[in-house]
């Protein structure tokens, strides 16, 4: 089956978002992280029944924002009966998940991370739980990882369990995300034909300005008095001089040579032009990584302020609503920890579009 091809085979909204009168279906989230995928489904009227993840630091963000239990569990040890226990009898069942994508990333040069095997485990759980609908999201490189065999085996396992399967690589700005992120999205259903979400913002992509342009100004190392997550990391004297001389959309090649890092003066480093860059106001942002709060980690310089993105700005560019909380009140905020929660999340706007497609499918089946 080729990319985008189709082949047939033998909630109350919870948390801070709007509550629907009758849930579309129950959703259980595997590899739930901070809850970006669940939150998108909750926005579309699904009941979030619970989430599983091995990372305890995800608990507060997932539970507080989604009104659902977080169960700390190594997915390799997770049992189908634990998942089934969360579903409401008689209600449509949706299983969603995003296996850790780092093993499939182009940044992983060795490809020997044992976590790549979690996708196969996810497929095994699907065959045991047999949800009505499955949604899986990951990096596009999964299509070619180990010659494409890992993804092909996953699809084959779904087909063998009687699922209709469809997938494609979706460009997130086409779905309202102000970020140039492309993701592999797969939907599978035992109920019949299911379609991927239709683009909603082709030719009118949301921009950095639309997402973060109205936030209060910050200096590097400063924290907003109104929002503790709107905080910027402190720059060294050298990096402050670098960003002061950076222009939106430019590169370190624009600087005085005395400011250029030694690693960029050698042949092997000359191709990395996007690091130490500023974003531009009227375009989507670059892909938000787990280290977006660091000026030297990519094109994460604020378009006009002399600092990198704040944690709140990174969350907004990931599609999280302004009210989303990642740390309990009074708890210390660590850039590395919160940056990981935000950068690893499924973008909420993309998740919401996926949820709309699943909702339409379930409602069509039950009409």
Q: What integer pLDDT is reported at residue 249 of this predicted model? A: 82
281: enclosing H helix or E strand: none
Percent of the chain with pLDDT over 90: 71
Catalytic one of 32, 58, 101, 263: 101
The 10s digit of each residue's pLDDT in 74-99 is 999 999 999 999 999 999 999 999 87
The answer as to whether 251 is a domain residue is no
CATH number of residue 112's parent domain: 3.40.50.150
Domain total of the chain: 1
Average pLDDT score over the chain: 87
Q: C-alpha 9: how far from its chain's center?
A: 29
Burial class (CB in 10 A: 0-12, 13-18, 19+), 135: buried
Instruction: Report which DSSP code applies to 184.
Output: E
- Cβ atoms 252, 273 nearer than 8 A: yes
The answer as to whether 16 is a domain residue is yes
Which residue reads 């599983």 in tokens?
Answer: 52
Q: Which pLDDT band, with edges at 50, 70 and 90, does 189 fall under?
A: very high
Query: Does the predicted model carry a pTM greater than 0.85?
Result: yes
- Half-sphere exposure at residue 8, Cβ-oriented, CA atoms within 13 angstroms: 4
The answer as to whether 256 is a domain residue is no
The answer as to whether 70 is a domain residue is yes
Residues near 118 by beta carbon (within 8 Å), at least 6 away in sequence: 31, 75, 76, 99, 100
**Range of lowest pLDDT (208-217, 234-243, 249-258):** 249-258
- Does residue 101 carry a catalytic annotation? yes
The answer as to whether 22 is a domain residue is yes
Domain of residue 14 covers 6-199+347-366
Which residue reads 């997402």 in tokens?
Answer: 211
Helices marked H in 6-130: 36-43, 59-66, 80-84, 118-129
The answer as to whether 184 is a domain residue is yes
Q: What average pLDDT does the segment 143-170 reach?
A: 91
The 10s digit of each residue's pLDDT in 91-143 is 999 999 987 744 434 444 444 545 557 888 899 999 999 999 999 999 898 99
Q: What integer pLDDT is reported at residue 128 of this predicted model? A: 96
Joined together, the tokens standing for residue 151 give: 């993804």
Q: Is the pLDDT of residue 220 over 90?
A: yes
The answer as to whether 41 is a domain residue is yes
The answer as to whether 322 is a domain residue is no
Q: Is the pLDDT of residue 10 over 50?
A: no
Q: Is the pLDDT of residue 366 over 50?
A: yes
- The residue among 236 and 366 whose pLDDT is bigger is 236
- Cβ atoms 62, 54 nearer than 8 A: no
Q: What average pLDDT does the segment 305-334 reach?
A: 97
- The residue among 31 and 269 whose pLDDT is bigger is 31
């Amino acid at each position: 089956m080729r990319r985008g091809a189709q082949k047939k085979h033998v909630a109350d909204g919870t948390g801070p978002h709007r509550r629907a009168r009758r849930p579309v279906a129950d959703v259980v989230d595997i590899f739930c992280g901070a809850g970006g995928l669940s939150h998108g489904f909750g926005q579309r009227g699904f009941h979030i029944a619970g989430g599983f993840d091995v990372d305890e630091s995800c608990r507060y963000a997932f539970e507080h924002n989604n009104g659902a239990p977080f169960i700390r569990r190594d997915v390799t040890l997770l049992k189908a009966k634990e998942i089934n226990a969360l579903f409401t009898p008689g209600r449509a069942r949706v299983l969603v998940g995003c296996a850790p994508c780092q093993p499939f990333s182009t940044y992983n040069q060795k490809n020997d991370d044992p976590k790549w095997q979690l996708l196969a485990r996810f497929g095994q759980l699907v065959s045991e739980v047999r949800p009505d609908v499955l949604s899986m999201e990951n990096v596009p490189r999964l299509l070619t990882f180990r010659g494409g065999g890992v993804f092909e085996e996953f699809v084959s396992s779904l087909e063998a369990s009687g699922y209709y399967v469809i997938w494609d690589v979706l460009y997130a700005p086409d779905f309202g995300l102000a970020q140039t992120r492309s993701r592999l999205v797969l939907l599978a259903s035992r109920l019949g034909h299911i379609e991927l979400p239709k683009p909603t913002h082709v030719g009118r992509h949301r921009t950095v300005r639309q997402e973060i342009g109205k936030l209060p100004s910050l200096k590097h190392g400063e924290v907003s008095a109104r929002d503790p997550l709107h905080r910027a990391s402190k720059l060294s004297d050298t990096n402050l001089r670098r960003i002061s001389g950076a222009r939106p959309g430019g590169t370190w090649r624009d600087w005085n040579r005395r400011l250029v890092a030694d690693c960029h003066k050698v042949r092997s480093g000359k191709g990395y032009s996007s690091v130490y860059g500023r974003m531009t106001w009227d375009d989507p942002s670059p892909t938000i990584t787990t280290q977006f709060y660091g000026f030297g980690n990519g094109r994460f310089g604020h378009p006009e302020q002399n600092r990198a993105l704040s944690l709140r700005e990174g969350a907004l560019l990931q599609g999280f609503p302004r009210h989303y909380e990642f740390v309990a009140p009074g708890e210390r905020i660590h850039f590395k920890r919160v940056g990981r929660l935000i950068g690893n999340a499924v973008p909420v706007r993309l998740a919401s579009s996926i949820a709309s497609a699943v909702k339409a499918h379930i409602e069509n089946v039950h009409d």
